[in-house]
């Protein structure tokens, strides 16, 4: 079971350092013959641009290829096939699977039906661990990973990239500042895990007082599609927006990150400042996913620990 990557909670510091180190050492040119003939199955039940295409780019840069389930309307899912059946069949066609699904817990459930490595590329408002690995890679290159003050702002309730990132950061000596409206605070389950890990976490409703202390500001999109009620979305939309002027009070070295897509939470004038790291971050998606797939397909496995983090070791409480 430890071969599947479902949650950031599975990742120890050693696992993270191993994937990041492998990514830094991978040479794109010579990687081309590493996995000739390997096939990656892409099962996306929700929209995706970066995650799907960077996984596809990654497997192709390793010499392999991708098979893509395509749009849900064009697949047997529209005939009522269960997720379990779909992944079971695709696992017979491919050497590894990447799954994105609107239901929290879907990746974990699906992983119980497949014998090839399954990678969670986002399960509803649950987890998005590969995004976290590329986030950490970007941070490490720019400012390191220890001794940091990291601000995470926006939709902390529904944002799966936030849930994964905040959990993974507990492996490092970083303090976390969570900036959001009251209604979009981190779910209790994730907060419980942060506290259990002994991480310093402070919640804020305003960015202004905390901004001068930050080394990293991780901005997120309000996850409109997850709001049960559109009026609730409208009540918070546009509240946490930064522009170049906002950053006047920031440290010179502050980096601004965002998993993308952005809507209007980062004004385009931030792009031209030295703080902006989000496009570089997106580009790192290919490098990190190459490293992950290389480890998963070579038999080395994603996890550094021989006792690979079994899915039974942790409970899904988000």
Does 166 help bind ligand NCD (rule: CB under 6 A)? no
Q: How far is the CB of 200 from ligand NCD (least distance, A)?
A: 25
Closest CA to 116 of 75, 173, 67: 67
Does 140 help bind ligand NCD (rule: CB under 6 A)? no
Q: How far is the CB of 121 from ligand NCD (least distance, A)?
A: 7
Does 241 help bind ligand NCD (rule: CB under 6 A)? no
Torsion, Cα 130 135 137 143, to 10 degrees, reads -170
Does 32 help bind ligand NCD (rule: CB under 6 A)? no
Nearest CB to ligand NCD, comparing residues 185 and 224:
224
Does 64 help bind ligand NCD (rule: CB under 6 A)? no
Q: How far is the CB of 176 from ligand NCD (least distance, A)?
A: 18
Q: How far is the CB of 212 from ligand NCD (least distance, A)?
A: 27
**Separation of CA 215 from chain center:** 20
Does 154 help bind ligand NCD (rule: CB under 6 A)? no
Q: How far is the CB of 160 from ligand NCD (least distance, A)?
A: 5
Does 260 help bind ligand NCD (rule: CB under 6 A)? yes
Nearest CB to ligand NCD, comparing residues 177 and 221:
221
Does 101 help bind ligand NCD (rule: CB under 6 A)? no
Does 157 help bind ligand NCD (rule: CB under 6 A)? no
Cα distance between residue 116 and residue 296, in whole Å: 9
Closest CA to 39 of 17, 13, 60: 60
Q: Which of 9, 22, 221, 277 binds ligand NCD (CB under 6 A)?
A: 221
Does 289 help bind ligand NCD (rule: CB under 6 A)? no
Cα distance between residue 301 and residue 294, in whole Å: 9
Q: How far is the CB of 50 from ligand NCD (least distance, A)?
A: 5
* Cβ-proximal residues to 306 (8 Å cutoff; 6+ apart), any chain: none
Does 128 help bind ligand NCD (rule: CB under 6 A)? yes
Cα distance between residue 160 and residue 8, in whole Å: 10
Torsion, Cα 19 83 157 167, to 10 degrees, reads -20
Quote the Cα angle for 168-1-75, to 5°.
Answer: 90
Does 161 help bind ligand NCD (rule: CB under 6 A)? yes
Does 142 help bind ligand NCD (rule: CB under 6 A)? no
Tokens of 89: 């069949």
Find out whether 285 and 134 touch, Cβ atoms under 8 Å.
Answer: yes
Q: How far is the CB of 105 from ligand NCD (least distance, A)?
A: 15
Tokens of 66: 């991708």
Cα distance between residue 219 and residue 174, in whole Å: 17
Nearest CB to ligand NCD, comparing residues 165 and 311:
165
User: What is the 3-state secondary structure of 73-141?
Assistant: HHCHHHHCCCHHHHHHHHHHHCCEEEEEECCCCHHHHHHCCCCCCEEEEEECCCCCHHHHHHHHHHHHH
- The total number of residues shown for the chain amounts to 318
Does 77 help bind ligand NCD (rule: CB under 6 A)? no
Cα distance between residue 280 and residue 287, in whole Å: 11
Q: How far is the CB of 123 from ligand NCD (least distance, A)?
A: 10
Q: Which residues are near ligand NCD by CB under 6 A?
A: 50-51, 122, 128, 131, 160-161, 221, 259-260
């Amino acid at each position: 079971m430890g071969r599947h990557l479902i949650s950031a909670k599975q990742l120890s510091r050693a696992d993270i350092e191993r994937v990041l180190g492998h990514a830094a050492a991978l040479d794109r040119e010579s990687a081309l013959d590493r996995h000739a003939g390997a096939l990656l199955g892409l099962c996306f039940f929700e929209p995706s641009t970066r995650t799907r295409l960077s996984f596809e780019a990654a497997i192709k840069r390793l010499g392999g290829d991708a098979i893509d389930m395509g749009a849900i309307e064009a697949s047997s899912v529209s005939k009522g096939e269960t997720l379990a059946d779909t992944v079971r069949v695709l696992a017979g066609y491919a050497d590894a699977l990447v799954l994105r699904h609107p239901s929290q817990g879907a990746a974990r459930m699906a992983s119980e039906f497949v014998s090839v490595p399954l990678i969670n590329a986002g399960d509803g408002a649950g987890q998005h661990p590969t995004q976290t690995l590329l986030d950490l890679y970007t941070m490490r290159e720019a400012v390191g990973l220890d001794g940091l003050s990291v601000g995470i702002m926006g939709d902390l309730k529904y944002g799966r990239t936030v849930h994964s990132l905040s959990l993974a950061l507990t492996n490092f000596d970083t303090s976390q500042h969570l900036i959001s409206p009251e209604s979009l605070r981190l779910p209790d389950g994730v907060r419980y895990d942060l506290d259990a890990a002994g991480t310093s976490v402070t919640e804020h409703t305003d960015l202004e007082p905390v901004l001068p202390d930050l080394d990293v500001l991780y901005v997120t999109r309000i996850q409109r599609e997850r709001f049960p009620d559109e009026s609730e979305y409208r009540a918070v939309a546009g509240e946490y927006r930064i522009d170049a002027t906002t950053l006047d009070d920031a440290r010179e070295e502050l980096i601004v990150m965002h998993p993308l897509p952005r809507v209007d939470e980062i004004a385009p004038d931030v792009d031209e400042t030295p703080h902006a790291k989000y496009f570089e971050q997106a580009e790192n998606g290919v490098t990190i996913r190459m490293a992950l797939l290389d480890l998963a397909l070579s038999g080395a496995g994603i996890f550094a620990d021989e006792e690979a983090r079994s899915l039974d070791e942790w409970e899904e409480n988000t």
